[in-house]
Amino acid sequence: MRLFLVMPTGLRAGYEKFFWTSPLGIETLAAHARDHAEVTLVDTRGRRGGVEAHAAWLAAQGPDMIGVTVNSAPHTKYSVALARAVKRLDDGIRVILGGQQATFLADELLATGGVDAVVRGEGEFTLEEIVRTGGFAGVAGVSWRDGGRIRHEADRPLIDDLDTVRMPARDLLADRSGYRVGAYRVEGLETSRGCPHRCSFCSVRNFHRGRWRPKSVGRVMAEVDDLMERYGDRMVIYFADDSFATDMRRVEQLCRAIVERRSNAYFWCQARGDALVAHPEVVAWMGKARFAAVLMGIETPIPRLMAEARKGASIKQIMDAVDLLHAHDIGVWGTFVLGLPGETPEETAASAAFIPTAGADVVQITVATPIPGSELYDRAKADGLLTAHDWDAFDFGSPTMLGQLPKPAMDALLHRAYLKTYMSGRFFRSLLSRRTNLNRLRRTAFRVFGRWIWYLAIEGAVGLLKRPFARRPAAALPSLRTEKA
Ligand code: B12
Ligand code: SF4
């Protein structure tokens, strides 16, 4: 069987405007499928041409099956269009989709006509079984079109021991020149899956059925060593885990093992502030292990909204985590959310005004977006609050629910917050001062983030010039509270 696994281009939303990491999902899937199929990996990000051109190229390669990742809302339209275009060219090619977004939209995606099957949840062993048996019937974890009917096979149990997942087949994607930020190569590496928390705007809990599962320290280090052997150690290794700091004893063991390597690599991860402040001694080890930055959800300064979103951490814990990371020369990549359910226009403005003062070195602002698989999506759908019905509108920078500020007002707040962050005296001092606790950031992570930072600053400036000084947000659509009252 000739199998092509595709990372979609889709809409360049959020971070993907500035950089992207290696497509770990399809590389891991390929490692499992390659025993039974001739596998080719295709990363369409950065490829010339649009969806029709990509489909024509794919169909011309003579594949038996094409598998496409639909991990996020902005991947959806492109992936469906690709599937349909491939089918128009050759109806005999079977097209399957998988990933976070696909898992929760199986019926909708199968109803588009171009898609033969959707793999729900983790894909390694499901895909392995599909390529081994050549069909979908009875394969756990698959939803598929059986003539005119849509059939949902039983769920596949979660993989208990993640060490049984094969090492990503990085050799199948030789051109890795696109996986860079500034001067550094960026490679993804998964050390765990899932998260024990249940933030209302997140789909991870449902995708991993509320479980957090780690790989062993030995296995993670084998992957780290493999990366360095292949590409040298001048790189950033991005731990792609949803919640890296869930077991801080394990984080310490990993850091100790990394320190023993004495390499020049830097590390990024995603972690919760409350987990970090509970173990300052482990954060010290992270500093020694050259963690250049931690992506941390700072979200909103308004405690009521934090509680309603079931974040399960206080703003004090998160602010303490910012200081703690800085004390160990680790940069803070803060993510913030505007437009949470029940947020008044005044609160949206107050949240936006807080962002430049929060002490984050890199700032990412997201408009609360109801993604399939999240409680927010289920509630918005059930209560008829969705204002967007085109998946491209779910770009994480636009309002999609009743109660959120209209786009121009939201944009004005966002741009102002970006500009104030990156044009502040504090930010420039942190770059110039030799004694600042952001020394490491100045020396290293800044070069890593450089292009992105200036892009955001310019985006902020241009945005403000276009819509100067919107001092008060324009009238909001009715808030969820008002709606429900
Ligand atoms: C790395 C990453 C990125 C990278 C690049 C993504 C990439 N894959 O190269 C960057 C930084 C660019 C990025 C950007 C964004 N991301 Co992102 N990202 C991730 C992250 C942390 C890791 C992805 C990964 O490598 N996972 C490890 C691999 C092994 O798992 P996987 O990719 O899920 O694949 C498995 C299954 O899903 C399935 N599968 C996947 N594809 C396929 C295909 C087939 C055919 C089959 C059979 C199975 C299958 O099998 C695989 C093996 O088990 C995930 C969270 C996560 N932990 O997965 C979020 C995640 C995918 N991102 C998310 C979001 C929201 C974003 C941004 C909007 C963030 C922002 N505000 O800027 C942007 C949007 C970009 C875009 N245009 O869509 C959400 C998507 C939610 C949604 N439904 O929309 C996620 C799920 C995180 C979250 N819970 O919020 N992201
Ligand atoms: S947002 Fe982060 S902490 Fe909250 S449930 Fe999702 S992965 Fe866990």
- Interval 403-418: pLDDT, tens: 999 999 999 999 889 8
Among 72, 193, 205, name the best residue to mutate to test ligand 2's pocket (greatest count of ligand atoms within 8 A of Cβ): 205
Q: Does residue 434 carry a pLDDT above 70?
A: no
Q: Which amino acid is at 75?
A: H
What's the pLDDT at 448? Answer: 45
Helix (H) or strand (E) holding 184: strand 184-189
Other Cβ atoms within 10 Å of 154 Cβ, number: 10
What φ, ψ does residue 232 adopt, rounded to 5°? 80, 175
- Interval 79-123: pLDDT, tens: 999 999 999 999 999 999 999 999 999 999 999 989 999 999 999
Helices (H), 242-327: 248-261, 273-277, 280-288, 303-308, 315-327
What's the pLDDT at 461? Answer: 59
- Interval 165-187: pLDDT, tens: 999 999 999 889 888 876 678 89
Higher pLDDT pick, 430 / 141: 141
How many helices (H) and strands (E) in the chain?
A: 20, 16
HSE-CB at 172 with a 13 A cutoff on CA atoms is 26
Mean pLDDT value across residues 131-141: 97
Other Cβ atoms within 10 Å of 145 Cβ, number: 16
Domains 2-143 and 198-456 share a fold: no
Q: Does residue 9 carry a pLDDT above 90?
A: no
3-state secondary structure of 322: helix
Environment class of residue 209 by beta-carbon count within 10 Å: exposed (0-12), middle (13-18) or buried (19+)? Answer: exposed
* Cα distance between residue 53 and residue 82, in whole Å: 9
* Cα distance between residue 363 and residue 336, in whole Å: 8
What's the pLDDT at 326? Answer: 87
What's the pLDDT at 91? Answer: 96
What's the pLDDT at 464? Answer: 54
Instruction: Please name the CATH architecture into which domain 2-143 falls.
Output: 3-Layer(aba) Sandwich (3.40)
Would you say the CB of residue 193 lies under 6 angstroms from ligand 2?
no
Among 3, 71, 158, name the best residue to mutate to test ligand 1's pocket (greatest count of ligand atoms within 8 A of Cβ): 71
Whose tokens are 């793999």? That residue is 119
**Average pLDDT in the chain:** 88
Q: Which atom of ligand 1 lies nearest, measured to the CA of 73?
A: 84
Nearest to 200 by CA among 401, 362, 349, 10: 401
CA distances 13 to 202, 393, 478, Å, are 17, 10, 27
Q: How far is the CA of 299 from the centre of ligand 2 (A)?
A: 11
Q: Does residue 324 carry a pLDDT above 70?
A: yes
Q: How far is the CA of 192 from the centre of ligand 2 (A)?
A: 13
Least confident of 23-37, 339-353, 357-371, 421-435: 421-435
- Interval 14-63: pLDDT, tens: 667 667 888 999 999 999 999 999 999 999 987 778 899 999 999 999 99
pTM, whole model, 2 decimals?
A: 0.91
Token pair recorded at residue 67: 């598998």
Domain map (residue ranges) of the chain: 2-143, 198-456
Q: Does residue 439 carry a pLDDT above 60?
A: no
What's the pLDDT at 85? Answer: 97
What percent of the chain clears pLDDT 70, i.e. is strictly above it? 86
For 408-422, letters b (16+ CB in 10 Å) and e give ebbbbbbbbbbbbbb
Would you say the CB of residue 204 lies under 6 angstroms from ligand 2?
yes
* Cα distance between residue 199 and residue 376, in whole Å: 9
Residues 145 and 91 sit within 8 Å (Cβ to Cβ): no
Whose tokens are 């680790």? That residue is 330
What's the pLDDT at 225? Answer: 97
* Cα distance between residue 146 and residue 402, in whole Å: 38
What's the pLDDT at 369? Answer: 97
CA distances 44 to 5, 49, 97, 200, 294, Å, are 10, 9, 15, 32, 28
Residue 151 forms beta bridges with which residues? 144
What φ, ψ does residue 184 adopt, rounded to 5°? -110, 140
Q: How far is the CA of 246 from the centre of ligand 2 (A)?
A: 11
CA distances 240 to 186, 243, 295, 455, Å, are 11, 9, 11, 24
Q: Which of 7-16, 325-334, 444-453 ranks highest by mean pLDDT?
A: 325-334
Q: Which atom of ligand 2 lies nearest, measured to the CA of 272?
A: 3
Q: Does residue 304 carry a pLDDT above 70?
A: yes
* Cα distance between residue 249 and residue 285, in whole Å: 11
Would you say the CB of residue 243 lies under 6 angstroms from ligand 2?
yes
Other Cβ atoms within 10 Å of 28 Cβ, number: 23
For 95-128, letters b (16+ CB in 10 Å) and e give bbbbbbbbbbbbeebbeeebbbbbbbbbbbbbbb
Token pair recorded at residue 23: 């497509």
Whose tokens are 């860079």? That residue is 180
Token pair recorded at residue 476: 């909001």
CATH number belonging to domain 198-456: 3.20.20.70
Token pair recorded at residue 217: 């320290």
Q: Does residue 217 carry a pLDDT above 50?
A: yes
Would you say the CB of residue 69 lies under 6 angstroms from ligand 1?
yes
Q: Does residue 478 carry a pLDDT above 80?
A: no
Would you say the CB of residue 208 lies under 6 angstroms from ligand 2?
no
Residues 64 and 2 sit within 8 Å (Cβ to Cβ): yes
Instruction: List, in order, residues 6 or more apart from 236 with CB less than 8 Å away.
Output: 181, 184, 185, 186, 187, 265, 266, 267, 268, 292, 448
Among 3, 72, 119, 160, name the best residue to mutate to test ligand 1's pocket (greatest count of ligand atoms within 8 A of Cβ): 72
What's the pLDDT at 473? Answer: 35
